[in-house]
Structures are given as C-alpha cells and as structure tokens.
Homo-oligomer: A and B are copies of this chain.
Amino acid sequence: MSKSAPTTSLCRYTDTEIFYRDRNLVDELLTGDSDFVTVMMQHILGRDVPPGQKRVMNAILITMMEHGLTPSAIATRSIYMSAPENLQGAVAAGLLAVGSQFVGTIENNARLLAELVDLEGDAQAARAAGIVREHRARKAHLPGFGHHLHKPDDPRALRLLEIGEAECETPRYLTALRTLSAAVDAEFQRHITINATGATAALLGDMDIPVELMRGFAVISRAAGLVAHIAEEQRKPSGRFIWETIDKAMPFES
C-alpha cells in the first residue's frame, strides 16, 4: 500500500456547511448571479477563471453540444427506448461515443500544436511545414483540418477562432494553429478548413488545459445535448423507428 493516503481538494462538508475547494457553496457560489460554467471551470481547473476564458468556454460548450442524429444520439435514443426508467443509462451510452474518431482529434491536434508553441516566426513555420509534409507522406489525416460536410470552411471553427482571438491575451496555440493552417494550404495548394475540433484544441490549449483533460469538456457539453435528444424522444419517440429502419436496411447474408 502507498505510504500515505492521497488527499482530495474538491469538497469538504460539516453538518452546516459545504465547501467546493476553498469556497463556501452557499455563501460564495450560490449567489444571485451564480454561474454554472464559471463554478465548473474553477472546480475542475483549481484556479480562478478570467472573464475572457469563461466566454471562450461557453462558446466551446455550445458548439460541441449538438450535431443532429449522430452515432452518439442514435445510441442514446436506442437505449432510452429499451430502458426509459434509466435516463442516466441512455446518456451514459451516448457519451461512450466521445472517443478517438471524433472528439479524440482535439487531443491529436493539440499535441501537434504543442510541438509548435515554443517556436516563433520562421522556425514555427518551418516546423509546421514539416508536420504537414510528414502527414502527407504517410497519407495520414492531419487532425484539426478538413470536414466531410462543412466546406470550404467550417462556420463553427471560424467563429470560435474569432472569439478566441478577441478574448485570449497570449494566443500561443491560436497562433500555432494559424501557422499550421497556412502550411496546410501551401502544401496542398488549396484552402482546407480548420474544423471545429481544431479550433477547440487551440482555445483549450491557450487556457492551459492539459491535453488529457480536453475531452472532458466535450463530455459535459454532449451530456446536455443528449438530454435534449431524450426530451425529444419523450414527446416524439423514434427508438422503434430506428430499430425497424436499420433491421430492414441491413439484409441477412450468410
């Protein structure tokens, strides 16, 4: 066994008081203008959150909340139909889609940007060009770029970058992303969009959020989106339709 017990800095309570980190929940956090996103950021990150970062986080959470009948939403609706008494199970099922194929690309892009942020000017541009050529040479997808639907530009990405550049005091990751984007366009001789996950990676990086925590914010945002799908399912059920549609659409072949 470990020599000494690990500790927690998240919460303590007595009969009459509850603290989130060092703040009294009732007296300091549940005030007239209390704001969930600010409290959540302070709680997760363990530091005060400047107003600009709060605005950026709101934009990120709104953007990642919803994209229609995705695999995540289909899973949630299928499970909700089967076990409507367990709403949390339907949300949990859908959240399990926050993996490598969609949201995980945030992390992959952030890792690329981390290779660039300590360089400046020509050195950064040269390293970015190298990254792009190296991906192209092995025919690898460059995370954070391209979108199968939103062309020539992902409208969400443009707005997120705009918000980030307005709010961020020292936009190191944003600058690195712009540099990488220029290298992409130069290498392919045409404009390829920065996508929403690419923009999100830069914004989270500029808030000093560790790469391995980044998808956590997608999970929170997506939880809200999936509750909306369940609310719709309660009024306009689609679970049986999804079942019958797929069962018919995929024939048996021995």
Contact = CB atoms under 8 A, between A and B. Distances in A.
A20 B155 CA distance: 14
A29 interface: yes
Contact of A212 (B34, B79, B87, B88): B87
A83 B228 CA distance: 22
A241 B153 CA distance: 25
Question: Which of A8, A22, A236 is most buried by chain B, counting CB atoms within 10 A of its CB?
Answer: A8
Contact of A58 (B36, B74, B216): B36
Contacts of A166: 32
Contact of A159 (B26, B81, B245): B26
A130 interface: no
A73 to B, nearest CB: 8
B71 A253 contact: no
Contact of A10 (B1, B149, B232, B245): B232
A39 interface: yes
Contacts of A140: none
Interface string A182-217: 000000000000000000000000000010110111
B89 A62 contact: no
Interface stretch (A98-106, A111-119, A120-128, A171-179): A98-106
B97 A79 contact: yes
Closest 6 CB pairs of A and B: A83-B99, A82-B97, A7-B253, A71-B78, A216-B227, A11-B68
Interface of A: 1-2, 5-13, 15-18, 20-22, 25-26, 29-30, 32-37, 39-40, 43-46, 55, 57-59, 61-63, 65-72, 74-75, 78-79, 81-102, 104, 149-151, 153, 155-156, 158-160, 163, 166, 210, 212-213, 215-217, 219-221, 223-225, 227-232, 234, 236-254
